[in-house]
Amino acid sequence: MIRFRRSLPRLCGFALALLAGLAGAQDYRIGDLEVLAPWSQELPPSAPTAAAYFTVRNTGMADDYLLGVDSPVASEAQLHEHIGADGMMKMQQVEGVIIPAAGQVRFAPMGSHVMLLGLGDRSQLVDGASFPLTLHFQNAGDLQVQVQVFAQPPEGAGMHEHGG
C-alpha cells in the first residue's frame, strides 16, 4: 500500500501529461472527410509567412476537392506544393487539391501545405497557441479547424505522402 501511495502522484502526473499531449491534436469531420491534427510551427516574429499542415482523410466513395483556405491571422492563405524542377525543390501555388475517395492527402513540410501570407496579430502564432483555419471543400462544404502551434514539429510530421 505504501508503494502505491508513493507512485500515485507520479502516475497522475504521467496521465495528465499524456492527456495534455492528446488535447493539442484535435481532429475534425465534415461529411465523408476527416481533418486530422492541424498544426503549424512557431516562427521568429520577423517571419513574413507561416505554413499550416494536416491530413485530410476521405472515407467516402467519391473524390472531393479542397478549393481553398482562409484564416483571420493572414491577409491571404494559399494552397501550395513542392515540386522537383531542374534538380531543385520549388514551391508553387495550386488551385486546389483532390482528396481521393477512400484515400488521404497529407499536408506536410516539403509537400502540400497551406501558406499564410500577410500575417497580422502574431499572438496566435506562438508555441501553445492556436488559430482558426477554414477549409473550403467542393462537396463537403466549409470546415473550420483550430491549428495548434508548436515550437518544434510534432512527432510524425515528416515528409508528404498521397494515397490510400
Any domain includes 39 = yes
3-class secondary structure, 48: coil
3-class secondary structure, 87: coil
| 66 touches 77 (CB < 8 A) | no
Phi then psi dihedrals of residue 35, to 5 deg: -110, 120
By CB atoms closer than 10 A (0-12, 13-18, 19+), residue 109 is: middle
Any domain includes 152 = yes
3-class secondary structure, 78: strand
pLDDT digits (tens, 9 = 90+) for 120-157: 888 899 999 999 999 999 999 999 999 999 999 887 76
Any domain includes 21 = no
Domain containing 77: what range? 27-163
* Reported confidence tier of residue 25, pLDDT bands at 50, 70, 90: low
Has residue 103 got a pLDDT over 90?
yes
- β-strand 33-41 against 141-150: which pairing, if any? parallel
Average pLDDT, the chain: 85
Any domain includes 1 = no
* Reported confidence tier of residue 58, pLDDT bands at 50, 70, 90: very high
Q: Stretch 26-37: mean pLDDT, rounded? A: 97
What is the structure's pLDDT at 12? 43
Q: How many domains does the chain have?
A: 1
